[in-house]
């Protein structure tokens, strides 16, 4: 068991479960660990608190900072639940390796998350589609000005009650000028810089009236990669297509769940390259019926428009069938109302609570 110090000033009573802005409300506790002299140490669950950080902290200068996003939900019988936590542990470690940071033992990650969620279970919003969003983050902690991998790191897991990330279907701009990631770059890692680099093009797209960007490949600017901070799917001639991950696309865990659920349910799914021109042609001949994004925060969100050069491709989300089906499937796995034939969900029992 990880040592626990409980807060004496819970903020839970100030939470309005019917009105939770995404990303602004934090639960009472956090998991904390430090890496020094080649080992993880000082592991603790303690009241959420500010950190004292030296201005020379390497993460701030050279960007050694990675994160994850995962969700804890409430089973219809009231127990807290996790879905595929080991996948998040593995992806965090893959990001760590790419960013030259130490890995964190997978079983310790699952234990930390389970214990934190058990302690914070009263913070899990009960509504379907809502969740306790878990945000593991690891960043460099050396006080040093010079470019090299840090020797010390801090690892934190925060928890935030959240409702849906997006509430309405999205308008995407297929981006021709700026890129998110190139082959051989860091696109597959959940590292801070990938998100920092996306902000300027996103801001420009927002100024043009779009909600998010449809990222195209760095070299030819024609292959579809991602949608904003999500993976992307489209349905053409009843085949569900998502770009194959090739090093520059994030290996979404929701993406993987969607592929597995749809395959098991008898849908035809394909991971392959698809160009923006393919999408426009399919829209023109009527074979394109859905586009949707997927991610931990967003789960599944419909796309109603894609702008590319002088073309605007429009879709009617009210006619989508596969996106709402798979969203409901995931939400129902997360609240236990759907049988979990994949063995992805874990109910946390009171024995793990403190
Ligand atoms: C997630 O879907 O959990 C993400 O990491 C996207 C995020 C930047 C909100």
Give the pLDDT confidence of 136-156 residue by residue, as tens digits. Answer: 999 999 999 999 999 999 999
In sequence order, the β-bridge partners of residue 270 are: 241
Strand 239-242, strand 268-271: pairing = parallel
For residues 6 and 137, what is the distance between their CA atoms, to the nearest angstrom?
21
The pair of structure tokens assigned to 143 is: 């006080």
Question: Which atom of ligand 1 lies nearest, measured to the CA of 70?
Answer: 3
Quote the pLDDT of residue 128.
84
Domains 12-163 and 170-334 share a fold: no
In sequence order, the β-bridge partners of residue 300 are: 294
**What's the pTM value of the predicted model, to 2 decimals?**
0.96
* Tens digits of residue pLDDT in 168-216: 999 999 999 999 999 999 999 999 999 999 999 999 999 999 999 999 9
Quote the pLDDT of residue 51.
98
Around 301, how many Cα atoms within 13 Å sit in the side-chain half-sphere? Answer: 25
Q: Which of 320, 296, 291 is nearest to 307 (CA)?
A: 291
Cα–ligand 1 centroid distance for 296 (angstroms): 6
121: helix, strand or coil? helix
Show the beta-strand stretches assigned E in 130-223. Answer: 131-140, 153-162, 170-175, 212-216
Question: Which atom of ligand 1 lies nearest, measured to the CA of 68?
Answer: 5
Domain ranges of the chain: 12-163, 170-334
Mutate to test the pocket of ligand 1, among 95, 164, 295 (most ligand atoms within 8 A of CB): 295
CATH tag for 170-334 (out of 3.20.10.10, 3.40.630.30, 3.40.50.12280, 3.40.50.300) = 3.20.10.10
Quote the pLDDT of residue 260.
98
> Does the Cβ of 136 fall within 6 Å of ligand 1?
no
Question: Which atom of ligand 1 lies nearest, measured to the CA of 190?
Answer: 5
Strand 65-67, strand 230-236: pairing = unpaired
Cα–ligand 1 centroid distance for 48 (angstroms): 21
Burial zone of 111 (CB within 10 Å; 0-12 exposed, 13-18 middle, 19+ buried): middle
> Does the Cβ of 297 fall within 6 Å of ligand 1?
yes
Q: Provide, rounded to the nearest whole percent, the portion of the chain with pLDDT above 70.
A: 99
Fold of 12-163: D-amino Acid Aminotransferase; Chain A, domain 1 (3.30.470)
Question: Which atom of ligand 1 lies nearest, measured to the CA of 69?
Answer: 3
Cα–ligand 1 centroid distance for 187 (angstroms): 14
Given pLDDT bands bounded at 50, 70 and 90, which one contains residue 350? Answer: low
Mutate to test the pocket of ligand 1, among 189, 229, 257, 327 (most ligand atoms within 8 A of CB): 229
The pair of structure tokens assigned to 250 is: 């994030």
Quote the pLDDT of residue 353.
42
Quote the pLDDT of residue 351.
41
Sign of CA dihedral 108, 130, 68, 264: positive
Question: Which atom of ligand 1 lies nearest, measured to the CA of 67?
Answer: 5
Question: Which atom of ligand 1 lies nearest, measured to the CA of 229?
Answer: 6
> Does the Cβ of 296 fall within 6 Å of ligand 1?
yes
For residues 276 and 60, what is the distance between their CA atoms, to the nearest angstrom?
36
- The residues, any chain, with a CB within 8 Å of residue 13's CB and separated by 6 or more, are none
Question: Which atom of ligand 1 lies nearest, measured to the CA of 23?
Answer: 9
Mutate to test the pocket of ligand 1, among 23, 198, 294, 296 (most ligand atoms within 8 A of CB): 296
- The residues, any chain, with a CB within 8 Å of residue 141's CB and separated by 6 or more, are 34, 35, 53, 57, 58, 59, 150, 152, 153, 154
- Core vs surface per residue 262-272: b (16+ CB within 10 A) or e: beeeebebeee
Q: How far is CA 136 from CA 31, 163, 235, 269, in A?
A: 9, 19, 33, 31
* Tens digits of residue pLDDT in 262-309: 999 999 999 999 999 999 999 999 999 999 999 999 999 999 999 999
Cα–ligand 1 centroid distance for 70 (angstroms): 8
Report whether 307 contacts 210 (CB < 8 A): yes
Helix orientation angle between 253-264 and 322-334, rounded to the nearest 10 degrees = 110
Mutate to test the pocket of ligand 1, among 294, 298, 300 (most ligand atoms within 8 A of CB): 298
* Tens digits of residue pLDDT in 77-135: 999 999 999 999 999 999 999 999 999 999 999 999 999 999 999 999 988 889 999 99
Helix extents (H) in the chain: 58-62, 85-98, 106-119, 192-207, 253-264, 276-284, 322-334
> Does the Cβ of 252 fall within 6 Å of ligand 1?
no
For residues 114 and 103, what is the distance between their CA atoms, to the nearest angstrom?
19
């Amino acid at each position: 068991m990880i040592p626990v110090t409980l807060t004496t000033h819970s903020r839970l009573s100030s939470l309005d479960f019917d009105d939770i802005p995404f990303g602004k409300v934090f639960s009472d506790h956090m998991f904390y660990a430090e890496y020094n002299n080649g080992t993880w140490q000082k592991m603790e669950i303690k009241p959420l608190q500010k950190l004292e950080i030296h201005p020379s902290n390497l993460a701030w200068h050279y960007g050694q900072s990675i994160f994850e996003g995962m969700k804890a939900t409430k089973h219809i019988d009231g127990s807290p639940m996790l879905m595929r936590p080991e996948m998040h542990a593995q992806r965090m470690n893959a990001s760590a390796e790419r960013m030259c940071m130490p890995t964190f033992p997978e079983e310790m990650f699952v234990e930390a998350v389970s214990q934190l969620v058990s302690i914070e279970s009263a913070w899990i919003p009960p509504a379907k589609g809502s969740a306790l969003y878990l945000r593991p983050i690891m960043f460099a902690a050396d006080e040093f000005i010079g470019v090299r991998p840090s020797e010390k790191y801090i690892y934190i897991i925060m928890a935030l009650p959240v409702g849906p990330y997006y509430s309405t279907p999205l308008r995407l701009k297929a981006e021709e000028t700026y890129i998110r990631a190139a082959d051989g770059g860091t696109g597959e890692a959940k590292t801070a810089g990938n998100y920092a680099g996306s902000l300027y093009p996103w801001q420009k797209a927002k100024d043009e009236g779009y909600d998010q960007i449809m990222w195209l490949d760095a070299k030819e600017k024609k292959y579809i990669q991602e949608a904003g901070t999500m993976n992307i799917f489209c349905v053409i001639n009843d085949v569900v297509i998502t770009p194959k991950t090739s090093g520059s696309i994030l290996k979404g865990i929701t993406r993987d769940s969607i592929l597995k659920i749809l395959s098991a349910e008898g849908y035809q799914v394909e991971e392959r390259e698809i160009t923006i021109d393919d999408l426009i042609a399919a829209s023109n001949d009527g074979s394109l019926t859905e586009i949707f994004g997927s991610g931990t925060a967003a789960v599944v969100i419909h796309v109603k428009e894609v702008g590319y050069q002088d073309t605007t491709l429009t879709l009617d989300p009210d006619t989508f069938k596969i996106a709402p089906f798979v969203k409901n499937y995931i939400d129902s796995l997360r609240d236990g109302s759907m049988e979990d034939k994949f063995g992805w969900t874990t109910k946390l029992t009171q024995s793990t609570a403190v």
